Amino acid sequence: MKWLPFAILALVMLAVQATVGGLLGIALGDGLLLGVDFLAILAVLVGMKTRAGTDALLAGWMLGLLIDLASPRMPIGLYALTFSLATSLVYYARGSIFTTNPVSQMLMTFGFVAVAHGAARLFIHLVAPPAGSRLGLDLVEALLLAMCSAAAAPLVMGVLHKLDWLFLVQRSGRRE
């Protein structure tokens, strides 16, 4: 993995998340928000395409740390942990799927976002529950985020697939 180009791409995706992701977000009742997690889609792509499991783990940790640093009132390292766990799950599950199939990309993105965001929100509610928040609504919001991210995954991965030569050393050799 080429880490400097990946770090630059991760920062660009964070900027896209902050700007375009904010414009695409739709507020629903009860404080629920529909949106797309572009960093999670990048993490799924890396998990499906990288050669080594440690590269997938470190890339997921780095993307999660970017979310931690960009989010106020969030414990540092929580999303880094959940993103590295979910990226590792994608890396080890990729042998069972065709990585270029849009349905596979959608399912892997849905699972990634559900695991990463669901585990982070569950941890926050178990350790230090915020005042006035409800766990059920937070988990429903994580599932809505997973559905929206999964719907956008084939399009975003199609664009990122054209750029993977910048940050991946070599394709994984797995079936696609």
Q: Which range of residues forms the domain containing residue 141? A: 3-165
Residue that is written with structure tokens 């470190």 in the block: 58
Amino acid identity of residue 95, one-letter, is G
**Is residue 59 predicted with pLDDT exceeding 70?**
yes
Cα dihedral 43/156/7/115 (nearest 10) = -20
176 lies in some domain: no
Amino acid identity of residue 85, one-letter, is L
Q: Is the dihedral of CA 110, 76, 57, 10 positive or negative?
A: positive
Residue that is written with structure tokens 């375009």 in the block: 20
The stretch 25-52 carries a mean pLDDT of 82
Q: What is the pTM of this model?
A: 0.87
Q: How far apart are CA 96 and CA 157, in angstroms?
A: 19
**Is residue 174 predicted with pLDDT exceeding 60?**
no
Residue 161 phi, psi (nearest 5)? -65, -30
Residue 131 sits in a domain whose CATH number is 1.10.1760
Residues 6 or more apart whose CB falls under 8 angstroms from that of 104 comprise 97, 98
174 lies in some domain: no
**Cβ of 78: how many Cβ atoms within 10 Å?**
21
97 lies in some domain: yes
74 lies in some domain: yes
* Rounded percentage of the chain residues whose pLDDT exceeds 70: 90
Length of the chain: 176
173 lies in some domain: no
Q: What is the DSSP-derived secondary structure letter of residue 96?
A: G
* Rounded percentage of the chain residues whose pLDDT exceeds 90: 24
Structurally, the chain folds into a number of domains equal to 1
